[in-house]
Amino acid sequence: MEKVSYSDDRDKERHDHTHKEDKCCACQANYRDLHANPGFDDSSDIFFSQPWVLRSSQGKFIAEFKDNYPVKSGPTALHMSVLEDGAPSIEQWVAGLEKSKQYTLSTWVAYKSGSEGCHIDLKLGKTLIKRHTISKGSPGQYRKVEGVVATKYQMDLVSMWLYCPSEATVAILVDDVNLEEIM
């Protein structure tokens, strides 16, 4: 073991503190969510929360951050519903990806009300990672939806789309969207 000498007590404290931090960082290296605001808990507006962007292809839908519904974590969850056709989505550009590494993309989804037969698609870029059919169940009971993907890029678009068959309506809750490197 290497012997370290210090010029004074403050140097020794700095050295000890630095090595404690190194140990802490090494412990946490197995988990690194690449999203900003993954749990929607920094929302400053009821319609969207930066850096998340809400989008829709025609139709009528609602997508808003709520704290008066059951949440998986933190104070807020995303409430999404399709009222008449359309396909709402939430998306975020994510940087810091490494080419050819494997990542897990996951979220927690809860049925709130409406028809069966609707589904969500989790995507990285244009690649479908996971399709999850929304089934009627206890409102507010969250289920984890996840898939694994490798990327070709250092930055890519993470998105979750909500689709319903024609004439169908549904309302869901979404919380904790995570993109993590598989170590």
Q: Report how far residue 93's alpha carbon sits from residue 159's, in angstroms, rounded to the nearest whole number.
A: 9
Class of domain 53-181: mainly beta
Give the model confidence (pLDDT) of 132-152 as tens digits. 999 888 888 899 999 999 988
Q: How many whole angstroms from its chain centre is CA 105? A: 7
Query: Could you read off the pLDDT of 121-134 as tens digits, one per residue?
Result: 999 999 999 999 99
Instruction: Map tokens 């979220």 to a residue.
Output: 107
Q: What is the pTM of this model?
A: 0.71
Each residue of 57-80: pLDDT tens digit? 666 666 766 666 667 777 777 778
